[in-house]
Amino acid sequence: MLPSFFRNWKGKRKPTVEAIAMKAVIPWTTTWIVISWYSSNIGVLLLNKYLLSNYGFKYPIFLTMCHMLACSLLSYLAIAWLKVVPMQSIGSTKQFVKITVLCLFFCFSVVLGNVSLRYLPVSFNQAIGATTPFFTAVFAYIMSKKRESWVTYVTLMPVVAGVIIASRAEPSFHLFGFLMCVSATAARAFKSVLQAILLSSEEEKLNSMNLLMYMAPIAVAILLPATLLMERNVIAMAVVLAREDMKIVYYLLFNSSLAYFVNLTNFLVTKHTSALTLQVLGNAKGAVAVVVSILIFRNPVSLVGMLGYSLTVLGVILYSESKKGNK
């Protein structure tokens, strides 16, 4: 028998110029989407840090509300007008309640993550955020009795050990910021497990873009009273800052739009590659964010701290591989 290559080639027509061009376009499209995803992810993270810490705009709840307001408007524009994805509707009051519950934990995780950026450098924030698989595995077992293989659980050991090492060696360690970041990471993992449980039926499943479109307005409704109660002078301070320097307005507009772009490119990367590829790229993104943040903010780092973070990333990669092997 002929080798498969020759069998497949034999009798087939030569590919047309149009077909070759199509094949050439696809990789470039995917490449630009991945670059856009990296840029928006790292960009919004660094700009959050700059606004909340360096610029002195110490209002994480209001900042999160701005993000959700932009996501609400831009999501509707992208789905209803630009037809990025088909619009899905909420089928029942029960489904709406489930989405609202998810939104509560989503808001909780984002706000706490922004709070932590006031006290921690981006590099350390990313190291803690890399422990998401650990919390996901714990919550999956507690909430749905979902067991992983022993190999998968073993791979979580370096994930946790790396953060412990990085914490002990972090020159800019702040206990409150650390607790906020760990809580944000746990809340993010809890939300993902809860989402898999609540929206498990085919009738209730929503793609990530539609889910964001419904969650964002609910988030604004939750965050607005929280802002007025806990950050009472934010509007007055924003007006004062805008009068002194109009850049704050542009920063907030750009930062909020970038927050939506993160979700859009996240969806597009998954669509053009796969969920597993997204996970692998996400691991690398964390490392890139660490390097970029150190170059921009010049925060001190130690060799032991970097080794600890590297150990965490290695554990996450091993975890991803063990999960892939179990499928």
CB atoms within 10 A of CB 323: 18
Measured between alpha carbons, how far is 30 from 305 in angstroms, rounded to an integer? Answer: 34
* Buried-exposed string 143-175: b where 16+ CB fall within 10 A, e elsewhere: eeeeebeeebeebbebbeebbebbbebbeebbe
Q: Is 11 helix (H, G, I), strand (E, B) or coil?
A: coil
pLDDT tens track, the chain, 327 positions: 444 443 444 444 444 444 444 344 446 888 898 899 999 999 999 999 999 998 889 899 999 999 999 999 999 999 999 998 999 999 889 999 999 999 999 999 999 999 999 999 998 999 999 899 899 999 999 998 888 888 888 999 999 999 999 998 999 999 999 999 999 999 999 999 999 888 888 888 899 999 999 999 999 999 999 999 999 889 888 888 888 888 999 999 999 999 999 999 988 888 887 666 666 677 778 888 888 888 888 888 889 999 999 999 898 888 878 877 665
Measured between alpha carbons, how far is 48 from 240 in angstroms, rounded to an integer? Answer: 20
pTM of the predicted model as reported, rounded to 2 decimal places:
0.84
With 0-12 / 13-18 / 19 or more C-beta atoms within 10 angstroms meaning exposed / middle / buried, residue 138 is: middle
Residue extents of the structural domains in the chain: 51-326
Measured between alpha carbons, how far is 137 from 186 in angstroms, rounded to an integer? Answer: 11
Q: What is the CA radius of gyration of the chain?
A: 22
> Integer distance in angstroms from the first to the last C-alpha of the chain?
33
Q: Is 180 helix (H, G, I), strand (E, B) or coil?
A: helix
Conformational region of residue 28, where left means phi above 0, alpha means psi within -120 to 50, and beta covers everything else = alpha
Measured between alpha carbons, how far is 168 from 284 in angstroms, rounded to an integer? Answer: 23
Contacts 24+ apart (CB under 8 A), 135-142: 135/185, 135/186, 135/188, 135/189, 135/190, 136/189, 136/192, 136/193, 138/189, 139/186, 139/189, 139/190, 139/193, 140/193
Question: Which two structure tokens, joined as six digits, stand for 51?
Answer: 């606004």
